[in-house]
Amino acid sequence: MKNLAELLELVVAEEDESLIPELVEQLAVIERRVRETELERMLSKPVDRSDAIVSISPGAGGVDAQDWAEMLMRMYLRWCERKGFRTEIVNHQPADDAGIKDVSFTVQGPYAYGFLRAENGVHRLIRISPFDSNARRHTGFAAVFVVPDLEDDVGDIEIKPDDLRVDTFRSSGAGGQHVNKTESAVRLTHIPTGIVVTCQAERSQHKNRSTAMKMLRGHLYERARQEQEAKFKQNFASEKMAIGFGSQVRSYTLAPYRLVKDERTDYKVGNVDAVLDGNLDGFIEAYLMKASTLKS
């Protein structure tokens, strides 16, 4: 900072415009350091460093909602790719006509959960529907649930065997003969909360159950966190929120104008294509900043 101030004084005193590029470069470095420090402050909880599990489900809107859920999946996978994060799909159920019925994938990377928890909630898409022969404008909704990928001894989450219903079934997705001909897929239902998780990524039923347990543990942790955050009057999505009008945390408008707006922070971006291609950092940082401010 001292060197920057001295450089600024020199530019003013000598009216030497040749020093301006160096001044701008130093300002960019300082701005980046301040941003990194601020992000570290906002992601101060140990669980923020955890990997994440992302689940996306279509809501109101029929085929458009199913297609929208698949678009969101691609958006988040592109964001992960940009960040250098590793992803693995653990459950994928394609819809009969277009889009998906449900998808869950893990995200491995520094502060994956800390960043992605900003995406929890209902996302709304407004566009001219490609499935409407009359080219009318339609609205589709999809819910995004992000939970931490917790180890057994993290988060103080106790799951009693009597509270679980375990169902096994044949995998419905691609995966070879063995996956599709044996009941390797696992669905866990947590009876007290009604939370349901599914894993069908592995050939081994044991491995799928282990992954499903981690998913359930993450959902229970996130549920407890949301209840605690509600005391600070924060608008977090709940597991039983209606995936429809009035519940969205972000709106993506493609017609009659083009704009993505976060309803929680009022952060807006006009370049919709860039957002759908994974350019989400601005939305995430705006949310984390507001959440951090409300808690302080």
Q: Where are the beta strands (DSSP E) in 1-156?
A: 52-58, 86-94, 100-108, 121-128, 137-148
* Backbone angles phi and psi of 241, in degrees to 5: -65, 140
Q: Find out whether the peptide bond into 256 is cis, omega within 30 degrees of 0.
A: yes
pLDDT at residue 178, as a whole number: 44
Highest mean pLDDT among 123-127, 179-183, 186-190: 123-127
Q: How far apart are CA 16 and CA 28, in angstroms?
A: 20
Q: 52 or 179: whose pLDDT is higher? A: 52
pLDDT at residue 71, as a whole number: 97
Q: How far apart are CA 136 and CA 150, in angstroms?
A: 44
DSSP assignment of 200-239 equals -SSS-HHHHHHHHHHHHHHHHHHHHHHHHHGGGT-----T
Contacts of 222 (CB under 8 A, 6+ apart): 117, 120, 145, 146, 147, 148
Q: State the CB neighbour count (10 A cutoff) for residue 289.
A: 17
**Cα torsion for 7, 12, 14, 15, to the nearest 10°?**
120
The residues pairing with 56 across neighbouring beta strands, listed in sequence order, are: 103, 144
Q: State the CB neighbour count (10 A cutoff) for residue 217.
A: 24
Q: Average pLDDT of 60-79?
A: 96
Q: State the CB neighbour count (10 A cutoff) for residue 230.
A: 12
pLDDT at residue 234, as a whole number: 46
Beta-sheet pairing, 195-199 with 185-190:
antiparallel
- 264 pLDDT higher than 80: yes
Contacts of 147 (CB under 8 A, 6+ apart): 52, 53, 55, 113, 215, 218, 219, 221, 222
pLDDT at residue 133, as a whole number: 85
pLDDT band at 75 (very low <50, low <70, confident <90, very high): very high
Q: 78 or 190: whose pLDDT is higher? A: 78
| Of 52, 215, 240, 287, the residue nearest 143 (C-alpha) | 240
Q: How far apart are CA 251 and CA 261, in angstroms?
A: 5
| pLDDT tens per residue across span 217-259 | 888 887 877 776 665 444 434 444 556 566 789 999 999 999 9
* Backbone angles phi and psi of 3, in degrees to 5: -60, -35
Check residue 268 and give left, alpha or beta (phi > 0: left; psi -120 to 50: alpha): beta
Q: 255 or 209: whose pLDDT is higher? A: 255
Q: Average pLDDT of 169-179?
A: 55
- 87 pLDDT higher than 50: yes
CA atoms within 13 A on the CB side of 162: 0
pLDDT at residue 113, as a whole number: 94
For the chain, what is the mean pLDDT? Answer: 81
Q: Average pLDDT of 83-96?
A: 92
| pLDDT tens per residue across span 37-63 | 777 777 878 888 899 999 999 998 899
